[in-house]
Chain A
């Protein structure tokens, strides 16, 4: 049946092909590109400032024969995604802004905007699948192309948001998407899939870009080794992340990893023992659970602690405060506060929480 669908278009190959598939299926499309940054803030990153994306999306909409609009989200994007991301860095954490963007902007502001237009559903070019799950609840599944899977970024969406979402390329593999683009005569340009590509020019630090934007003071301090000996100084904790190897002063051994970041003292602790950055578990807070309610019994599932990492066997236990206690079957490297933990049952997303209080340094 023909539906009115708003298609979020970045101008890249995935959302362009998503639009072509929906159009082919006979739906009435409303193309929309989110403007997330002012051009003068983009520092040479042509991606999200939009000029490139907007004109390419408009070209595609014209080619496929549907109208295209630009939704200016600059101010809300800053308040809903960038500022919370900076606040995480300032606390010595590493944020996952792409999840916030999906939860609050693409399936927040854009969904609301479409609703005001009387358009019930929003489609995107994400590599994830939606199926009908138990009791008519939507089931969010990994994209068929596991190397492109973006279910991690979408795992914070509620059932209500997922019911209104459509992911037309989720059942396709990237080469098939490219082939379809060719067949429809659409541009095959890549669009960024991660914060670094989306928001900053190559070689720039996302965290440093945020610090400058919010005119925040960096928290400088010492870099110490596991014995507490000072091995160097740094200009700000925000440029470090747990498990980081690059940009650290060389020690007696060639390899060092960031083990701990203290926002109070500004101290960054490094270790030359890779075992020190392994974690056996953590607490996941602000949980979005796609089931009826949090599991009543400890649940065996798998968990992914960052985008593009392997999923690990784990047991999750709901706590009285609504948080989840996560115990890993075997220790995992660099579990990082502020990142999203996404829980899976096979390919199906069970939910997402934010990593807090990881138990690092324990060898399991």
Chain B
């Protein structure tokens, strides 16, 4: 299969698999046990914690392991909001967040919190002009993603973090898509919370982390143990955490070479598709092109993104549309709609995302397949 959906998930790196094999075998102890088996498991978890912290410039004790990005986002939004003082019942988020942030925000809204969603420009970048109006003393948390999953557009998180700090609010960023694709330093970004996920960076599914700066006041979502500073109790998923740690170590070591290589392949793919398929346009690129190096979201005017996706799948190429197959909703990507696109435009878009294992040969083949499918669908059009 020609896999071009790395923003959905990534294959396990062989080195990660090897690191996990140990934890799946002899080192089966419970990290909370006092005996040697427990101590060995604890060593594995803490080694992983240091590796994970290393990817984002954090201290190990600022890492809370979770089951993944969604849980980390939920813990950040709901955990901070519920521990905020009574005078701070406001949350500010961008309109293009992942549902893992949007849905907890909507939940807070239904519980009487004031939630403000900030819009984005045609390029998909948060409109900083709306920031002063949203910066109020009753805001407990700002949550803006570091890079968007659909378009790859990078957000001005450092600027928003400044504004958040100035009004005494915490700043959270969902870095699930950015981790491993951008150099991240939590201190330079000025964020207090940051979520990321293992399986997006060639680690196993079922592990993620929330960076929580030491000073942040927050409450857990589940209770029942002392693990993870009591913010995420429960016996640790040791094998997945070990894999996550190794994946972070690899991502850090390979960041520069991986991203440079992938950016070259992505740019080649993009320029060829734009040249060979009439009516194509890149979503979220804009003039500045502040995007993740691996993501290419392309609109095919007059064609249906879902039809392209399914036809490519039948030819052995995996890509993604934001929307699920639906006859009535035709719900297009909320991200593209927030960028001011019509529903028809948004529905014509397909997300291609490349990664560590993408080869030049695959890119050449991908271009061929995309051209072939676009032609087929243009001819089939009633």
Contact = CB atoms under 8 A, between A and B. Distances in A.
Contacts of A73: 326-328
Contact of B380 (A30, A71, A112, A118): A118
A69 interface: yes
B310 A117 contact: yes
B329 A115 contact: no
A76 B313 contact: no
A28 B314 contact: yes
A116 B138 CA distance: 50
9 contacts: A30-B310, A67-B314, A70-B325, A73-B326, A74-B326, A113-B325, A116-B306, A118-B377, A118-B379
Interface in A221-273: none
Given A30-B314, A117-B307, A69 B325 contact: yes
A72 B327 contact: yes
Interface residues of B, number: 18
Nearest to A118: B380
B376 A72 contact: no
A73 B326 CA distance: 6
Contact of A71 (B307, B325, B376, B377): B325
B310 A115 contact: no
Contact of B328 (A28, A67, A79, A115): A79
Contact of B313 (A67, A74, A79, A112): A67
Given A67-B310, A69-B310, A117-B307, A75 B380 contact: no
B310 A75 contact: no
A109 interface: yes
B311 A113 contact: no
Contacts of B377: 116-118
Contacts of B382: 115
B314 A75 contact: no
Interface in B25-82: none
Contacts of B304: 116-117
Interface string B310-338: 11011000000000111111000000000
Contacts of B311: 117-118
A69 B307 CA distance: 11
Nearest to A109: B327
A74 B329 CA distance: 9
Contacts of B314: 28, 30, 67
A263 to B, nearest CB: 29
A113 B327 contact: yes
Nearest to B373: A118
A118 B376 contact: yes
Contacts of A71: 325-327
A72 B380 contact: no
B307 A118 contact: yes
Given A72-B329, A115-B380, 9 more contacts: A67-B313, A70-B325, A72-B327, A75-B328, A76-B328, A113-B327, A117-B311, A118-B376, A118-B379
Interface string B370-382: 0000001101101
Interface in A51-83: 67, 69-76, 79
Nearest to B376: A118
Interface string A111-135: 0110111100000000000000000
- Name which of B311, B324, B380 has the most chain A CB atoms within 10 A of its CB: B380
B184 to A, nearest CB: 36
B311 to A, nearest CB: 6
Nearest to B308: A117
A109 B327 CA distance: 7
Contacts of B313: 67
Contacts of B327: 71-73, 75-76, 109, 112-113
Contacts of B329: 72, 75
A73 B327 CA distance: 5
Nearest to A71: B325
Interface string A76-95: 10010000000000000000
A273 B380 CA distance: 60
A71 B327 CA distance: 7
A119 B283 CA distance: 28
Contacts of B326: 71-75
A213 to B, nearest CB: 16
Interface string B140-170: 0000000000000000000000000000000
Most chain B C-beta atoms within 10 Å of own C-beta, residue among A72, A76, A79, A117: A117
Given A67-B314, A115-B380, A115-B382, A72 B307 contact: no
Interface string A20-58: 000000001010000000000000000000000000000
A333 B329 CA distance: 43
A73 B324 CA distance: 11
Contacts of B306: 116
Interface in A190-208: none
Contact of B325 (A72, A112, A115): A72
Nearest to A34: B327
A155 B301 CA distance: 38
